[in-house]
Structure 1
Amino acid sequence: MKSNESEYDCLLHGIYATLERPAAWKDFCALLREAIGAASIQLSAFDRQRELFSWADGFSVLETEPLEFIPTLYRDDARLEWLRACAPGKWLYCCSDAGNSRGQAVFEPCVLAGAGRFVSLCKLIDSGTLTAMIACRRHHGDGPLPEAGRALLERLTPHLIRAMRLSLHRLLPDADALARQARPPAMLVSALGEVLHSNEPAQRLLRATSLVRVRSKRIALAAPFQTRFLEDVAISEARLKNHVNGARAAAARVRALRIVSTVDRAADPEDGHPTHDNDADATLPAAPEVLYAFYNVVTPGEASAADLRAMAALTFYHPRSAPAVDEQVLATAFDLSPAECRIVHMLVDGFTAKEIAARVNVQYDTVRKQLQSIYLKTATRRQPDLLRLMMNLPARGRPGAAG
């Protein structure tokens, strides 16, 4: 490897460029990798309150080094106690293979060091809320990092720490922004089912229905929806990590779960709605309790999704909760045609089916058939149910959903 003052100045500029442009961390990692002859450079931030990686960036990070294994090790593995106790700013030079350590300390968990390779680790920040670290890995055949490389890392360390501290607000997920503390009940849930955040309407919802519960800090939906929900989030996470084409767009798509109580209940007189209207079947029996869960998959911060834990941003609709939303979400969640969306919006505006037929210049039977299609797609059975559902869909443009 080679190092000189111009190279150092370039690296220094790269560090402070991240304050204005967070994506510049990848550029810095590429420069550092070249300067010290590393196989890969990895920066990561671990949110200790929520026990998940909230940010990561790097260069040439191999798919054989998945970050999802590290949180479990960080919490539970006794071999990492020495890493937890190590002071920030101190570099550790380790090897994953005792037989080829070449005098280096042996750091056993291969998930960090990589099989048969050398790694240089440094904690940049370690507080009650966040641990940020950098890892520089070298291939087995390249040997340990030479003294010149270590000297360069030591020289850059104070600047890395300063830049990390100035960027602290970007390294922790903004749970309120992701879960959107709006009127609809909302939760932020990890791929393992851990409830990372819930707003006040969600707390009220938990007291109003047994169709969703939080037990030991984990979401509990009525069967079989719990398994279906967690499997879907896990699949989205795997696709994001593997950079599958279209994975970000698919993750951002709003899904809908219709969770129905197994016990029938009479219509709630507090709903303030009649049990039928002119366009619905007046002989329908009392409907069971229903809870709609809308969710899409998000990743916190601005880092590469392939290196992060995925989370589900959930909003709920329940007969005892209510507010309004967006036509495109209605179309996306339920696959309504433009004509069907138009009918729903006219119903919200107070027009009857006959008035809608006259306004759009179609036969009344055509509107009735379109209404039946809408009921089928939205799993509703009458106009009051449909209208309340329409008024409680989640808003478009969730933070973190754009890809």
Structure 2
Amino acid sequence: MSQSTLNQYYDELIDLIYKILDTPDNWVHFGQRLTQILDATYIQVQALDVCNQAISFSAGGGRLNDVDRVASDLAYLHYPVDSDPRWEYFLQLSLEDQHKWYQCHHHIDHAFVEQSKLYQQVLLPFDLRNVAVKALVLDEQLCIAFIIHTSEKQQPLQNEKIDFLNRLLPHLERVLKTQRQLYKFSTDSIVGYSLINKLHQPIVLLNLSGGVVHYNTAVSTLLEKTNLIQLQNNQIYLDQPYQQQLKDNLREIEALFRQQTFDNELLQDGGIKIQSESGETLYIFASLLATEQELKAFGIRPLVMLTLFHPEHSISVDIQLLSSVFKFTPAECKVALSLLDGFSTKEIAQKNKVRADTVKKQIQSIYRKTSTHKQSELVKILLNFPKAI
């Protein structure tokens, strides 16, 4: 796209930028429009509170819907920081020269992508291959990065697009500096909380003592429909023996965490199945949020995320639910749902733009995690869940 063609969108984008002053939610509208103009996948602004070493703000818009964006963000947080070297390069560049853009294709080559689980399981399935990043605010307290995500097909941003973006940057910087306090870490605005708030699957966050820290709207809706679980005075209440079982599970999680031997795989079969005399059923699955990236997104202390599944009051199977129940990666979730829809290995590979060998490995991992051995057994399990929308 030529510079003159891009320039015709300048006034429209400037108007969208200053609407962010009305509400940060307007990052979504700005991001959606800019992705269309640049032929990108996703536009994101992300803030790191340097003092608290916490992700203090994350928003954006583009081709990813909310479900996919949240799923990719949550899956990304489970990976260690050193699995994604892009941020190290970016921070080094920013410290040397804040006026430069960082583009990952200069350092992340095809060979690295091929062997990286982060890319193969989380980034590529959502068309997140390349990033172009610019620090809009960078000082001893706060780093706010402006990020352009593009797919492998879209290719990295070309010079004329970077030049056009540089014309927009002073206005973006002005908006961020005007509302600086909104982008700093606070207990009222934690990125992890906002992520789970967008999920329609009921999620409860607990501290290691079992106290309720946060829960999303889907939990409130579920509480109106069942008496199998109650939340009062920041505590979860279940009938016995389930209350004791939950306490025992939390105690075991904390012990393993303190011994630094914790592995979420240990909880794969550790869900609690609550059943009333009438046959009403509720499942509770637990995951510890304790990696460096998770602590940055969910606050400073380790938390336990409980995913609730009530067969009678759940409207869909989504990536978050499958991930919580079976510890699937986002890529494995897509493969499992494709198998449910009857796609072959070759068709799944073509649809997800990966190699057939990669899909075969993902299928074997799915079988292992679900204790199944063939597609018919897997389908039988998945059919017990509500259909995906």
State the TM-score bracket (shorter-chain normalisation). Answer: 0.3 to 0.5
Bigger radius of gyration: 1
Greater percentage in helix = 2
TM-score of the pair, normalised by structure 2? 0.43
TM-score after normalising by structure 1: 0.42
